[in-house]
Amino acid sequence: MLAIAAAIIPNFALILLGWVIRARRLLEPAFWPQAERLTYYLLFPALLVTNLAEAKLTGLPVPAIAAAQGLGIVAILGVLALPLRYFWPRLQNDGPGFTSLFQGAIRPNTYMAFAVAAALWGSTGVTVAAISAALVVPLVNLLCVAALVHWGQGDGRRGLGPTLAAIAKNPLIIACLVGAGLNLTGIGLPPIIGPFLKILAQASLALGLLCVGAGLDLGAVRGAGRVVAASLVLKLAALPLAVGALGWWFGLRGETLAATILYAAVPVAANAYVLARQLGGDFRLAAAIITASTLVAAATLPVATLLIGHLP
């Protein structure tokens, strides 16, 4: 239990620090949007490229990890999330609200997944997180953009072409493709460029978690209602259970299974809010879901990690 606390508490301490800095205005408010852009477009892609390029995939069941993550997401959406749109009166006439629930059910905070996986399971944890991100980041972006185009207030006015172009230019997707390509071709990280990217990557998790804390909106949670609660159940309970069951079915065991489940158990990523604003979703509800999931995960993530540790 002490090892779990030592791995998880520092990450939530960084989130809390980010919130305090923002609330106390210790930095100019204009700093945070720029820091988020720097992390999203440069620092975190550098982390993905370096980890995927150097990931030791030999002996790791990559197809099983990918299948557990992908099928788990599809199962949660198909069996639980989508029926809510048509059978829950609260969402029957609220397409934008449903898109926030949709994102809140499946979009992981990859910053936190990498940080906790590295602290708990070292290189194995980071490699599993990188493999998971290589599949989940493109898949979640495709699904969430499709949901927003279909049910958001934009009513698809952005068009299929621009939407696909936006997905293709997503820096996290590009980073996953570059890192995987360098690994699979055997090229690896080139001299000079590799060390440069590693230096950038070292700054990504700390700044990313500070930005998560700065983006917390406690006011949005008040009165957000049962949609937020439903999103928390889907993201923090149902999705990890589905991914864990599928991973077990596909033969994952030990640290590999644990890191796979952890990736599914982290709270909702802050870019759900950004995407909701851009494509006509209910961005206030998205902010409430992000904030609530981060706060609740402070309790659920240690419990989930403790339970995972008892798996045979």
Neighbours of 301 (CB within 10 A): 23
Please report the DSSP string for 110-164 in residue order. Answer: HHHHHHHHHHHHHHHHHHHHHHHHHHHHHHHHHHHHHHHHHHSTTTTTT-HHHHH
Residue pair 106/240 in contact (Cβ under 8 Å)? The answer is no
d(CA 18, CA 261): 27
Mean pLDDT, rounded, for 24-53: 93
Mean pLDDT, rounded, for 84-110: 89
Residue pair 72/132 in contact (Cβ under 8 Å)? The answer is no
Mean pLDDT, rounded, for 168-173: 85
pLDDT band of 287, cuts 50, 70, 90: very high
Set out the domains of the chain in order of their start, with CATH numbers: 2-308 (1.20.1530.20)
Of the candidates 216, 276, 233, 229, the one whose C-alpha atom is nearest the C-alpha of residue 90 is 229
Q: What pLDDT digit, counting tens, does each position of 175-211 carry?
A: 999 999 999 999 999 999 999 999 999 999 999 999 9
Sign of the CA dihedral 117, 240, 312, 256? Answer: negative
**% of residues, the chain, pLDDT over 70:** 96
Give the model's pLDDT for residue 155: 47
d(CA 146, CA 99): 10
Of the candidates 154, 176, 276, 292, the one whose C-alpha atom is nearest the C-alpha of residue 235 is 292
Q: What pLDDT digit, counting tens, does each position of 99-121 carry?
A: 999 999 999 999 899 999 999 99
Q: What pTM did the predictor assign? A: 0.89
pLDDT band of 150, cuts 50, 70, 90: confident
